[in-house]
């Protein structure tokens, strides 16, 4: 690779805005996540051009760009959080892990709380559904090798705990013998 190809371009306000627009064409983002993405680009430029990159100027440009993107509704924390919540629910993500991922993506705490409240209000069994989806995806419990089920129980419990599922729920799902038991949990 040539030296020119590996060196990032110099940063200015227009370049940062173009980076933001290109990123937002491909990904939904929270305002804080967009700030992080742009700041990473500034930091790369600072390494390549230490004397020509003023971090304070860049931070000001980033704030202006984020405000502009919010004004045009390219960035909307509420919309982003709702979409992320739906995606995580469909993947079988636990409540704790969902909150952590939203926090990591820069979603404000009040919006996270609102999304979780809406989720719990609309589907009180989503945590059970998520745990079942997770177990099915990982081939845990009745979804895996039934011959070695007891041998793997502790390891599967630990994995479910690391992914934010409560112990009592995890044990019920992992020890379930048939689909009907899981259906009873969802209905009951």
The owner of tokens 């990032």 is 8
pLDDT at res. 4: 52
Q: pLDDT of the chain along its 188 residues, tens only?
A: 445 557 888 999 999 999 999 999 999 999 999 999 999 999 999 999 988 889 999 999 999 999 999 999 999 999 999 999 989 988 889 999 999 999 999 999 999 999 999 888 877 788 888 999 999 999 998 888 777 777 788 999 999 999 999 999 999 999 988 888 888 888 86
Predicted TM-score of the model (pTM) = 0.78
């Amino acid at each position: 690779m040539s030296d020119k190809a590996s060196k990032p371009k110099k940063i200015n306000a227009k370049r940062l805005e173009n980076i933001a627009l290109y990123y937002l064409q491909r990904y939904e983002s929270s305002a804080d996540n967009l700030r992080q993405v742009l700041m990473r680009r500034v930091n790369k430029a600072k390494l390549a051009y230490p004397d020509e990159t003023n971090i304070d100027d860049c931070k000001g440009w980033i704030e202006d760009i984020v405000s502009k993107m919010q004004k045009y509704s390219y960035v909307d924390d509420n919309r982003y959080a709702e979409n992320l919540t739906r995606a995580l629910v469909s993947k079988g993500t636990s409540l704790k892990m969902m909150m952590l991922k939203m926090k990591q993506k820069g979603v404000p705490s009040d919006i996270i709380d609102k999304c979780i409240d809406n989720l719990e209000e609309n589907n009180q069994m989503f945590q059970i559904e998520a745990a079942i989806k997770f177990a099915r995806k990982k081939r845990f419990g009745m979804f895996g090798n039934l011959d070695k089920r007891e041998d793997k129980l502790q390891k599967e419990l630990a994995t479910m705990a690391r992914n934010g599922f409560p112990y009592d729920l995890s044990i019920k799902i992992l020890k379930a013998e048939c689909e009907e038991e899981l259906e009873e949990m969802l209905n009951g």
